[in-house]
Amino acid sequence: MKKLSIFWFVICLAALCFALTPQELFDRVDKEPVSRLSSSLEKLSPEDLKTLLALRNAEGDSFLNAIVRLKAEPIALYLLKNGADAFEVAAGETAFSLACVLDLWDFAISAIEGTKSYGENQPILWEGVFEAVKNDNHRLARVILEKTIEYRANASIVSQEALIDAIKAQDVFLALDLLRSGANLNAVDRTGSTPLIIAIANGDNRNAAPLIFLGADVDIQNHRGDTAGMLAGKKG
């Protein structure tokens, strides 16, 4: 019995010796296999995990952001459940925005459902909509809109850019969701084109008709001097 106790004492001591400190774990985040990172994280005490989440590397980046960039979604979700803030800015990025760019669906939605600061995080949420649209993840964009329905009154220019991208992608349902969310019906892109001009130029009557019904200005000219009405006439 005594020998058995000594054996387990040695095993536990060895485990402690091989356990990484929060700083060591952060330093090796890009070098360790995901499975080993996960195992090392589980060995951290709650205090050490809190320390790890507060650490920043030389570039000012966070451990959570680094994990999201690795697309290690299970680990990112584990961190989120253990106190990580997906909306905290580190090195100019938030984990939520990165997740939208990298199409980490579960993490992005969990971040939205876990936050209590919709108003404070509204610009980041709109950025998430924009990035989701750019990456053709319209389902994610719609879910973000649904989760933030009470906080849409002051939609930023980002939502207008997302609207134009939705029109280009011929996604009428997302376009209408964005319009209901406060996007500018007559927003212009770098060529002076409005969502309506883009829809007609693409031959997308599915989107053009509801835009006109909602009051889109048919007389705005793009950089070539074309209006939506002129383009519609050219296309017959």
Q: State phi, psi for 224 to the nearest 5 degrees.
A: -95, 0
**pLDDT digit string, tens, across residues 199-224:** 888 888 777 887 887 788 899 888 88
160-234 topology per CATH: 1.25.40
Note if the pTM is more than 0.95: no
**What percent of the chain stands above pLDDT 90?**
18
Quick: pLDDT tens for 10-51.
444 344 444 678 899 889 888 888 888 888 898 899 999 999
* Average predicted confidence (pLDDT) for the chain: 78
DSSP string for residues in the chain: -HHHHHHHHHHHHHHHHHPPPHHHHHHTTTTS-HHHHHHHHHHS-HHHHHHHHH-B-TTS-BHHHHHHHTT-HHHHHHHHHTT--TT--BTTB-HHHHHHHHT-HHHHHHHHHH-S-TTTTHHHHHHHHHHHHHTT-HHHHHHHHHHTGGG-TT--HHHHHHHHHHHHTT-HHHHHHHHHTT--TT---TTS--HHHHHHHTT-HHHHHHHHHTT--TT---TTS--HHHHHHHT-
How confident is the model at residue 11, as a pLDDT?
44
Whether 169 contacts 137, CB under 8 Å: no
Q: Which CATH class is domain 22-147?
A: mainly alpha
**Distance separating alpha carbons of residues 211 and 193, to the nearest angstrom:** 14
All structural domains of the chain with their residue ranges: 22-147, 160-234
Domain 22-147 and domain 160-234, same fold? Reply is yes
